[in-house]
Structure 1
Amino acid sequence: MPFFTAGDSREPELAGIWGAVCGSFYTLLVTLILSFPIGVSAAVYLEEFAPQNRWTDIIEVNINNLAAVPSIVFGLLGLAVFLNFFGLPRSVPLVGGLVLTLMTLPTIIISGRSTLKAVPPSIREASLGIGASKVQMVIHHVLPQAMPGMLTGTIIGMAQALGETAPLLMIGMVAFIVDIPAGFTDPSTVLPVQIYLWADSPERAFMEKTSAAIMVLLFFLMVMNAAAIVLRKIFEKKW
């Protein structure tokens, strides 16, 4: 069936979503590789090591504000920085992943800090009481307890990134791409943008393709949210 195996086409009967699925996969892979370690590190630093002063208060306020910024603003930032300043190519998963990383980082940092606060203080006190340093206490005791919540927040952030269209439109991922992308620097599109292109097409035959692509996107979103719930149930510890 060409719908699941082919790329985009001007002919409705030949058009498929495989190119958009591959583009979404590479884009989300870049987002995950960058956002998870940076977000977890920032959450651990702000919650466990950062001194309570004016600068950390400013950083915390800005992180909370960034979580409420419209996604198209991140697209404008990616257009100005990654494309115009650094000269990276348009419509590639690498740039899309960088833009979505900026968008999902506040969500991951906020959820990570919430899970770190939920770790019982007795864990910290017992670890320090037997002679562990603060770094050893965080790495060996606090972080393993908080990791399920951090993974959940990361998956939810990735699900949000999967459904984003506006920031990717700003970096050129709205282009008509026929070829299947084979890497992070090949021109590609993503599922939400593909749905947008088909919905905007004047040919009536693309309406069925649009509906089917929406169902595929909803399926991926439900799978990712279900994975977040399952991970939390598996690794959650009762106190």
Structure 2
Amino acid sequence: MTTLEIKNLQVSVETDDAAKEILRGVDLTIRSGETHAIMGPNGSGKSTLAYAIAGHPKYTVTGGEVLLDGENVLEMGVDERAQAGLFLAMQYPVEVPGVTVSNFLRTAKTAIDGEAPKLRTWVKDVKGAMEALKMDASFAERNVNEGFSGGEKKRHEILQLELLQPKIAILDETDSGLDVDALKIVSEGVNRVKENTGLGVMLITHYTRILRYIQPDFVHVFVNGRVAESGGSDLAERLEEEGYDRFLTAAV
């Protein structure tokens, strides 16, 4: 059983004028096998939460703790966080010209496990994961995210998830830019990893459509850098009907 504990997390970001506080005391606990949907309006701090946990240098943690099985994540380097079992699927995956998908995946797997995977087993695993995500075999020889469509980028993120098998996955708006077919395939991939490995998931999204395919155990409304309300999947349905107005009014 893996547990990610976020305790009173406070985060700021440097602007042209001064440091701006984004997260104002976030408390959240995610355990193996749980899916937590983080929902909220634009600018509420959802992506800041994701990147602060992952260790993006743009964000400065000014207070609080992030613990993974009792270990202080904030004292780890970015690579150490990945080795400890954290995974971030980015909203806008970056291009890496000159590095093929196959080389990228094997290098990442080697870095996380501390040893290179056995080639025959690895080739079989990659092929199986790509087939499950309905990705053509030629995809492996393309440069990472270079010229990829939005759907291809997101499938590549889930391909990494399947092969690297982290303990906790943070999915930052993985549904953005996907048509219905791609959304189903990506969602099935997340569900498959969760079922096979007991993955804990933090799913950041604006919309409920992905929650029709990835059922959340908990839904958290994120407003003004804090969790304003938590509940079950019925809370997402209320948000679909009512929007965030009542939370925004209360936060003023």
TM-score after normalising by structure 1: 0.22
Q: Which has the higher strand share?
A: 2
Q: Which has the higher helix share?
A: 1
TM-score after normalising by structure 2: 0.21
The structure whose Rg is larger is: 1
